[in-house]
Amino acid sequence: MTDIPPRKAAPRPPRNTPPVDEGRGILAGIGYAVRETVIVVTMAVVLSLVVKTWIAQAFFIPSGSMEDTLQVGDRVMVSKLHTRFGDVNRGDIVVFKDPGNWLPPAQAVESRNELVGKVQAALTFVGLLPDPADEHLIKRVIGVGGDHVVCCDAENRITVNGAPIEEPYVHPGDAASQMTFDITVPHGRVWVMGDHRSDSQDSRYHPRNGDGIEGSVPLDLVIGRSVATVWPLSSFGTLSNYPQVFAHVPAP
C-alpha cells in the first residue's frame, strides 16, 4: 500500500494591497540624503573650528616682509600647539596679533557682493578659508625674554647675548639691519624681524628706550609658529627655524 501525499492547500487569492506611492518614496529618499548631508557638513564645520581654535590655522601672506622665505599670496599653516604646550624659540616664524599701531589703519573696502563677503568671513571664522591676516603679522623671532640683542658688530652682524649670528634667511642683498639698536628683551616677550629687512616694519621701527618694551611682542599675542607653506603647490614644504644659527648663542 503506497502513501498518498497530502494535498496542497489551494493558494489564497492575493490581498488587495494599496498601490505604491512613488512620489512619496522619492521625497523620503531626498529627505534622507539632505539629512545625511547636513550631518556631514555640520561635523566638518565643527571639526574645522576645533582644529582652527586649538591645533592649527592657515594664514594668507599679504606683504613681502618675509621674502624670500615667504612670498606675497603664500598660504602658511600655523601650529598653535607650539605656543600652547611649548616655548617660542629663536628662529621661529611666528604669527601674532598687532601689538598696537604696527599695521596701518584698516581701510573700508566696498564689496561688489555683500553676501559673498559674509560667506567668506564665515568660512574664515570656522577655518575653512585662510585668515587674510588683516589684524596679524608674521615675523621671525631673533630674541626671547632676557636676550641682549644688538645691531651691529664690526662685520655688520646682529649679536645675541654677545654672540654674532650668520643669517642665511635674510633677503639677498639686504644688510642685517639698516637701523642700529641695543635692547634687552623683557621676559614674556620676543624681539621679531622680517627676513626682508629693508621691507619690514618690525620690532626695530617702534619707539624704544633700550628696554625693548615697545618694540617687542608679548607672548600672549603670539598665535603660533608657522610650520609649512601649503599653497601654492610649487612652494609646498616645511619652514625651518634654523637652529644652527642660534646654536652657539649663550643663555641670557
- CA 107 to mean position of chain CA atoms: 23
Radius of gyration of the chain (CA): 30
Place of cell 487569492: 13
Q: Are 68 and 171 in contact (CB under 8 A)?
A: yes
- Cα angle for residues 13, 16, 17 (degrees, 5° grid): 125
Single out the residue of 121, 174, 122, 120 nearest to residue 152, CA to CA.
174
Q: Is 65 a catalytic residue?
A: yes
Distance CA 80, CA 86 (A): 10
Which residue out of 52, 80, 139, 203 is catalytically annotated? 139
Whether residue 139 lies in the annotated active site: yes
Looking up cell 599653516, which residue turns up?
77
Residues 65, 200, 203, 226: which is the catalytic one?
Answer: 65
3 state SS of 172? coil
As annotated, the active-site residues are: 65, 139
